[in-house]
């Protein structure tokens, strides 16, 4: 599981790669759930939270970049 502390240490490309991996995992879990093959349904909730953490980190970086650009411009 990706913790917030380790997400802050990752680069932008690594974050996007992690996001893509988690989305693919969630897709697979949903598929398993629909076909009745999923053994650990709690994993879906964990993956959703991990996706949200990555989105939060990406948004924080986006805001920080916009603030830096605004300070530089004005």
Residue 39's CATH number: 1.10.287.310
Residue 15: give the domain boundaries. Answer: 4-73
Q: How far apart are CA 2 and CA 53, in angstroms?
A: 8
Residues 14-70 pLDDT 10s: 999 999 999 999 999 999 999 999 999 999 999 999 999 999 999 999 999 999 999
- Could you tell me the pTM of the whole model? 0.87
Q: How many domains does the chain have?
A: 1
Q: What angle do CA 19, 35, 29 make, to 5 degrees?
A: 15
């Amino acid at each position: 599981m990706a913790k917030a502390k380790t997400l802050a240490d990752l680069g932008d490309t690594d974050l996007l790669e992690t996001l893509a991996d988690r989305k693919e995992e969630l897709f697979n879990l949903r598929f398993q759930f629909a076909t009745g093959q999923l053994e650990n349904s709690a994993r879906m909730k964990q993956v959703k939270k991990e996706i949200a953490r990555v989105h939060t980190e990406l948004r924080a970086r986006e805001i920080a970049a916009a603030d830096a650009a605004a300070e530089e411009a004005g």
